[in-house]
Amino acid sequence: MILIGRDLSPFTRRVAISLDVLGFTYERKQLSTATDALEIRQYNPLGRVPALVLDTGESLIDSSAILDYLDETVGPDRSLIPASGPERRHILRLVSLALGVMEKSVAAYYERTRRPAETRHPPWLNMLEDQTLAGLEALNSQADSKGPWLALGRMTQADISAVAALDFADTALPNLLKDVNLPRLRRLALHLQNEPAFLSTKPKA
């Protein structure tokens, strides 16, 4: 399998970490949406990352669909999102918050880096950054108070996606989280920072 996309993309990174955690072997093609858009379209007509090219040549797109395939492949005993019931709903809620943080912080990053300064609309940027913060605060408050895991006393997709979202916000919007207290998320990030799947994919701006 070949994973398309760079670790600066939190959506790509959560797939990379999940592939490692679940024990899949795969190759990387570190294409950037800023400079390799045409090549990325060979794998995803939308020009977005991640895409995962299977050994059959089939290209899976969108991180949630890719992760669903990985969970289905390893089966319900090892899947990172529980197969059914209240546990599944709780993990999906936490993952959805992390995905919302990724969407809003990526949009804020694009506003800052891809749009000429004179065409920026500060109220829009402020709204994106406020939504990023609100999502992180909700994740922090809805996490288990006894750590390190956010829920269920084991690693799930909520932990992987939350750390990918937090690390991206720290990297891409460094001033935003300077004075924000997120103790449960920080404890989780600290617990995972030296795990090979997380360390080897740490994003750089």
Ligand X SMILES: N[C@@H](CCC(=O)N[C@@H](CS)C(=O)NCC(=O)O)C(=O)O
Contact residues: ligand X, CB under 6 A: 9, 11, 33, 47-50, 62-64, 106
Q: Among 118, 98, 113, which Cα is nearest to 33's? A: 113
Pick 101 or 184: Cβ nearer ligand X = 101
Supply the minimum distance, in Å, between the C-beta of residue 54 and ligand X: 16
Q: Could you tell me how far CA 110 lies from the centroid of its own chain? A: 16
Pick 11 or 43: Cβ nearer ligand X = 11
DSSP 176: T
Pick 96 or 142: Cβ nearer ligand X = 96
Pairing of strands 2-4, 27-29: parallel
Pick 40 or 184: Cβ nearer ligand X = 40
Cβ-Cβ contacts under 8 Å for 40 (sequence gap 6 or more)? 4, 5, 31, 33, 47, 48, 49, 51
Supply the minimum distance, in Å, between the C-beta of residue 145 and ligand X: 29
Supply the minimum distance, in Å, between the C-beta of residue 67 and ligand X: 9
Supply the minimum distance, in Å, between the C-beta of residue 72 and ligand X: 17
| Tokens 């000429």 belong to residue | 116
Contact, 188 vs 147, CB < 8 A? yes
Q: Could you tell me how far CA 147 lies from the centroid of its own chain? A: 20
Pick 47 or 147: Cβ nearer ligand X = 47
Supply the minimum distance, in Å, between the C-beta of residue 159 and ligand X: 17
